[in-house]
């Protein structure tokens, strides 16, 4: 031991022991990659964004170094440079809503194909909450927003310049038009369902709607009335009942219809969830579907084909509608479509054809229509 070692024994590596360098605690940066590739920082940024300004061989080398070093681009940092966060805000009524679930799948498919992330938020069918959530998403600098079953709808129009983010609605529930939306042909769908019941010989046909005053309900009720008028059947106000789009309220409303002196032999329901409640109310009175009362729904939710009897309903191509909304949003974001992106007030409302799916819940009317109460 030398005199200048401070009296401390020198650490001697054990035979066979390898020196392991200490791992860096931080993720590699663009500067690190630039140093390893011996190029400038901007060249690395361009290469990682597949810019044609970078030589193909150099770009491949840079991407290989980035991959080997575990580099992962920060969405926030990338957004500061490109002004795009590659995120989409999606507002649904509730995550357990079967309609919203299918639409969400379609949106995510197209978003993922373009390497966009989707941020999901609930509005709980509350207009004020919906407005707040949309504004919060805009403040988070999402590149675009999709809202399903909007309770605000046309009220977004004054906010468009303030939000500075394109918005597309799916089945807007506000009575009015919006700049960009994807809607099912509500009127045509319920008219087809009512015509189907009329062809089966029904004359006392009820409509079980939604008391919320939504555009979709108004259009479906109009289609029902049109079919009656075309067949020379007078509209009976007592046969137009209201629920809230859920089975519980439908049970009560359907029970009241069955207590009418001249009760209906068929009922067109606002949606499949309403039809579910209506069928339960019919059975609770010892009646049969469709022998005593025929039932139609609207949506063609996953359970419609598994009920007993299976439900005749109007099919909405929910997943495809989600895809169409996402495709339209991408056009807005890229400036390919006039409207929000260009600051214009043009109306682009995509109407999707509805399809009647005939199953076991509808049958021929009895020869003598009577009171079921």
Beta bridge partners of 269: 208
Q: Indicate whether 178 pLDDT > 60.
A: no
Contact between 267 and 240 under an 8 Å Cβ cutoff? The reply is: no
Q: What is the mean pLDDT of residues 291-301?
A: 97
Q: Is residue 201 part of a domain?
A: yes
Q: Is residue 23 part of a domain?
A: no
Question: Structurally, how many domains does the chain consist of?
Answer: 3
Contact between 331 and 348 under an 8 Å Cβ cutoff? The reply is: no
Residues 271 and 347 in one domain: no
Residues 67 and 150 in one domain: no
pLDDT tens digits along 245-284: 999 999 999 999 999 999 999 999 999 999 999 999 999 9
Q: Is residue 19 part of a domain?
A: no
Residues 123 and 202 in one domain: no
pLDDT of residue 45: 78
Residues 116 and 216 in one domain: no
Angstrom CA distances, 60 to 50, 66, 115, 121, 257, stand at: 10, 10, 20, 39, 71
Q: Is residue 171 part of a domain?
A: yes
Angstrom CA distances, 317 to 16, 98, 99, 170, 323, stand at: 67, 13, 10, 12, 10
Residues 193 and 294 in one domain: yes
Q: Indicate whether 372 pLDDT > 80.
A: no
pLDDT tens digits along 18-51: 333 444 456 778 888 888 889 988 888 788 777 7
The DSSP output letter for 269 is: E
Place of tokens 């029902």: 224
Q: Indicate whether 121 pLDDT > 60.
A: yes
* Predicted TM-score of the model (pTM): 0.73
Q: What is the mean pLDDT of residues 231-243?
A: 97
Residues 203 and 308 in one domain: yes
Q: Indicate whether 314 pLDDT > 50.
A: yes
Binned at pLDDT 50, 70 and 90, residue 337 comes out as: low
Q: Is residue 35 part of a domain?
A: yes
Domain that holds residue 107: 82-184+318-352
Q: What CATH number has the domain bearing residue 136?
A: 3.40.50.2300
**Averaged pLDDT of the chain:** 83
Residues 194 and 152 in one domain: no
pLDDT of residue 304: 97
Angstrom CA distances, 105 to 99, 239, 248, stand at: 10, 37, 27
Q: What CATH number has the domain bearing residue 43?
A: 1.10.260.40
Q: Indicate whether 228 pLDDT > 90.
A: yes
Binned at pLDDT 50, 70 and 90, residue 315 comes out as: very high
Name the more confident of 159 and 172: 172
Residues 126 and 244 in one domain: no
Q: For the ranges 24-38, 69-83, 233-247, which has the lowest average pLDDT?
A: 69-83
Whether residue 309 is preceded by a cis peptide bond, meaning omega within 30 degrees of 0, is yes
Residues 190 and 310 in one domain: yes
Residues 92 and 109 in one domain: yes
Residues 153 and 196 in one domain: no
d(CA 24, CA 31): 15
- Residue 18's CB is within 10 A of a number of other CB atoms, namely 5
Residues 118 and 215 in one domain: no
């Amino acid at each position: 031991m030398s005199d200048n070692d401070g009296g401390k024994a020198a650490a001697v590596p054990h035979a066979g022991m390898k020196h392991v360098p200490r791992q860096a605690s931080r993720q590699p940066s663009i500067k690190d990659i630039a140093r390893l590739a011996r190029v400038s920082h901007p060249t690395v940024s361009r290469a990682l964004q597949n810019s044609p300004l970078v030589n193909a061989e150099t770009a491949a080398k840079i991407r290989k170094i980035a991959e080997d070093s575990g580099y992962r681009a920060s969405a926030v940092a990338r957004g500061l440079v490109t002004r795009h966060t590659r995120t989409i805000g999606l507002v649904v009524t509730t995550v357990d809503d079967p309609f919203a679930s299918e639409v969400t799948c379609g949106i995510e498919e197209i978003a993922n194909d373009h390497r966009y992330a989707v941020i999901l938020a609930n509005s709980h069918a509350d207009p004020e909450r919906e407005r707040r959530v949309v504004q919060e998403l805009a403040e988070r600098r999402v590149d675009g927003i999709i809202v399903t079953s909007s309770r605000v709808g046309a009220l977004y129009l004054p906010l468009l310049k303030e939000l500075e983010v394109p918005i597309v609605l799916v089945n807007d529930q506000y009575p009015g038009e919006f700049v960009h939306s994807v809607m099912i042909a509500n009127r045509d769908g319920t008219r087809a369902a009512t015509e189907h019941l009329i062809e089966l010989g029904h004359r006392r046909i009820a409509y079980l709607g939604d008391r919320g005053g939504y555009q979709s309900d108004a259009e479906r009720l109009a289609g029902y009335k049109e079919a009656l008028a075309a067949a020379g059947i007078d509209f009976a106000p007592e046969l137009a009942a209201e629920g809230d789009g859920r089975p519980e309220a439908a049970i009560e409303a359907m029970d009241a219809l069955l207590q009418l002196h001249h009760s209906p032999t068929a009922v067109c329901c606002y949606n499949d969830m309403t039809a579910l409640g209506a069928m339960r109310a019919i059975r609770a009175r010892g009646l049969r579907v469709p022998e005593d009362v025929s039932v139609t729904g609207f949506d063609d939710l996953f359970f419609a084909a598994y009920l007993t009897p299976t439900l005749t309903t109007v099919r909405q191509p929910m997943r495809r509608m989600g895809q169409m909304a996402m495709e339209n949003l991408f056009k807005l974001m890229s400036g390919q479509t006039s409207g929000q992106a260009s600051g214009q007030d043009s109306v682009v409302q995509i109407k999707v054809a509805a399809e009647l799916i005939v199953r076991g819940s509808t049958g021929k009317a009895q020869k003598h229509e009577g009171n079921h109460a």
